[in-house]
Structure 1
Amino acid sequence: MSNIILLQSPPPKLEVVQKNIFRKEALEFIAELHNEFDVQIETLYKQRLLRSLEAKSNANLDFKTSPERSDKLWRIAELPSRLENRHLDLGDVSASNTAHFVSALNSDVQGIQVDFDDGHCPTWKNQLVAFQNISLAVNGRLLGAPLSIVTSPVLMLRPRAWNMLEHNILIDGKEAIGALVDFGILMYHNAKKLHEANSGPYFYLSKLEGASEAKLWNDIFIWSQEALGIPQGTIKACVLIENIYSTFELDEILYALREHSLGLNCGIWDYCASIIAKFGDRKEFMLPDRNKYVNIDLHFLSSYMKLVVSTCHARGAPATGGMAAAMLRSGYDGTDRESKAIINRILEAKLKEIETGVDGFMVYDSRVVPYVNELWKKNGAMSNQIHRKFNFNITAKDLLTIPSGGVTLQGLRHNVAVSILFIYHWLAGVGHFFYSGNVEDSATAEISRSQIWQWIRFSATLEDDPNICVTAKLVERKATHFANHAHRNLCRSNAERKRLTAAKYMSMELFLMRNPPEFITSYLNDNHKYRTLHNKALLSNL
Structure 2
Amino acid sequence: MPAAAPTPSVAAGTATVTRQEEVLTGPALEFVAALHGRFTPRRDDLLARRAERRAEIARTGTLDFLPETARVREDPTWRVAPAPAALDDRRVEITGPTDRKMTVNALNSGARVWLADFEDASAPTWRNVVQGQLNLIDAFERRIDFTTAEGKTYALRPDEELATVVVRPRGWHLDERHLTVAGRPVPGALVDFGLFFFHNARRLAERGKGPFFYLPKLESHREARLWNDVFVFAQERLGLPHGTVRATVLIETITAAFEMEEILYELRDHASGLNAGRWDYLFSLIKNFRDAGPEFVLPDRNAVTMTVPFMRAYTELLVRTCHQRGAHAIGGMAAFIPSRRDPEVNEAALAKVRADKEREAGDGFDGSWVAHPDLVPVARAAFDAVLGDRPHQKHRLREDVHVTAGQLLALGTTEAKPTFEGLRNAVQVGIRYIEAWLRGQGAVAIFNLMEDAATAEISRSQIWQWVHTGVVLDGGEKATPALVREVAAAELEAVRAELGETGFAAGRWREAHDLLLRVALDDDYAEFLTLPAYELLD
Q: Distance in 2 between matches of 1:421 and 1:85?
A: 37
Residue pair 2:248, 2:271 contacting (<8 A) in 1 also: yes
Listed one character per residue, the Cα deviations across residues 8-45 of structure 1 (whole Å, up to 9, x for unaligned) are 3314xx0xx11110010000000011111122112112
Report 1:227-238 matches (<5 A).
Answer: 227-238=237-248
Residue pair 2:427, 2:488 contacting (<8 A) in 1 also: yes
SS of the residue aligned with 2:167? strand
Q: Distance in 1 between matches of 2:510 and 2:73?
A: 51
Q: Distance in 1 between matches of 2:351 and 2:533?
A: 36
Q: In structure 2, do the counterparts of structure 1 residues 239 and 328 end up closer, same or farther at CA, with 3 Å as the change threshold?
A: same
Match for residue 515 of structure 1?
Answer: 524
Q: Distance in 1 between matches of 2:432 and 2:340?
A: 19
Listed one character per residue, the Cα deviations across residues 209-259 of structure 1 (whole Å, up to 9, x for unaligned) are 110000000000000011111111010000000111111111100000001
Match for residue 106 of structure 1?
Answer: 108
Match for residue 538 of structure 1?
Answer: none
Structure 1 residue 388 and structure 2 residue 400: aligned?
Answer: no
Report 1:130-145 matches (<5 A).
Answer: 130-143=132-145, 144-145=154-155
Match for residue 457 of structure 2?
Answer: 446
Match for residue 150 of structure 2?
Answer: none
Q: Distance in 2 between matches of 1:141 and 1:397?
A: 53
Match of 1:7 among 13, 18, 21: 13
Structure 1 residue 64 and structure 2 residue 66: aligned?
Answer: yes
Match for residue 291 of structure 2?
Answer: 281
Listed one character per residue, the Cα deviations across residues 120-144 of structure 1 (whole Å, up to 9, x for unaligned) are 0110111111110000111222124
TM-score by length of 2: 0.93
Match of 2:41 among 39, 42, 45: 39
Name the aligned partner's letter for residue 387 of structure 1.
H
Q: Distance in 2 between matches of 1:401 and 1:223?
A: 41
Residue pair 2:340, 2:346 contacting (<8 A) in 1 also: no
Match for residue 326 of structure 1?
Answer: 336
Match for residue 417 of structure 2?
Answer: 406
Q: Distance in 2 between matches of 1:27 and 1:493?
A: 42
Report 1:216-255 matches (<5 A).
Answer: 216-255=226-265
Structure 1 residue 301 and structure 2 residue 311: aligned?
Answer: yes
Q: Distance in 1 between matches of 2:160 and 2:183?
A: 41
Report 1:460-499 matches (<5 A).
Answer: 460-463=471-474, 465-466=475-476, 468-490=477-499, 493=502, 496=505, 499=508
Residue pair 1:77, 1:258 contacting (<8 A) in 2 also: yes
Q: In structure 2, do the counterparts of structure 1 residues 327 and 245 end up closer, same or farther at CA, with 3 Å as the change threshold?
A: same
Q: Distance in 1 between matches of 2:238 and 2:160?
A: 21
Match for residue 55 of structure 2?
Answer: 53
Q: Could you tell which deviates more after superposition, 135-144 or 250-259?
A: 135-144
Q: Distance in 2 between matches of 1:431 and 1:175?
A: 22
Structure 2 gaps, min length 5: 1-6, 146-153
Residue pair 1:149, 1:199 contacting (<8 A) in 2 also: no
Match for residue 148 of structure 2?
Answer: none
Q: What RMSD in Å do the two structures reach over aligned CA positions? A: 1.5
Q: In structure 2, do the counterparts of structure 1 residues 498 and 107 end up closer, same or farther at CA, with 3 Å as the change threshold?
A: closer
Match for residue 29 of structure 2?
Answer: 27
Q: Distance in 1 between matches of 2:445 and 2:200?
A: 31
Match for residue 343 of structure 1?
Answer: 350
Q: Could you tell which deviates more after superposition, 253-262 or 492-501?
A: 492-501
Q: In structure 2, do the counterparts of structure 1 residues 20 and 384 end up closer, same or farther at CA, with 3 Å as the change threshold?
A: same
Name the aligned partner's letter for residue 353 of structure 1.
E
Match for residue 94 of structure 1?
Answer: 97
Aligned length, in residue pairs: 517
Name the aligned partner's letter for residue 218 of structure 1.
N
Listed one character per residue, the Cα deviations across residues 168-217 of structure 1 (whole Å, up to 9, x for unaligned) are 11112211110000000000011011111100111100000110000000
Q: Distance in 1 between matches of 2:122 and 2:204?
A: 23
Q: Distance in 1 between matches of 2:160 and 2:194?
A: 22
Q: Distance in 2 between matches of 1:351 and 1:494?
A: 41
Structure 1 gaps, min length 5: 535-542
Name the aligned partner's letter for residue 436 of structure 2.
H
| Percent of residue pairs identical | 36
Q: Distance in 2 between matches of 1:365 and 1:491?
A: 29
Structure 1 residue 84 and structure 2 residue 91: aligned?
Answer: no
TM-score by length of 1: 0.93
SS of the residue aligned with 2:508? helix
Name the aligned partner's letter for residue 15 of structure 2.
S
Q: Could you tell which deviates more after superposition, 1-10 or 215-224?
A: 1-10
SS of the residue aligned with 2:332? strand
Q: Distance in 2 between matches of 1:518 and 1:49?
A: 9
Match for residue 207 of structure 1?
Answer: 217
- Quote the offset at 1:150 in angstroms: 4.8
Listed one character per residue, the Cα deviations across residues 414-471 of structure 1 (whole Å, up to 9, x for unaligned) are 11111111110111111121111111000100101000111111121111x23x1111
Structure 1 residue 371 and structure 2 residue 374: aligned?
Answer: no
Structure 1 residue 397 and structure 2 residue 401: aligned?
Answer: no
Match for residue 185 of structure 1?
Answer: 195
Match for residue 359 of structure 2?
Answer: 352
Match for residue 432 of structure 2?
Answer: 421
Name the aligned partner's letter for residue 355 of structure 2.
E
Name the aligned partner's letter for residue 451 of structure 2.
E
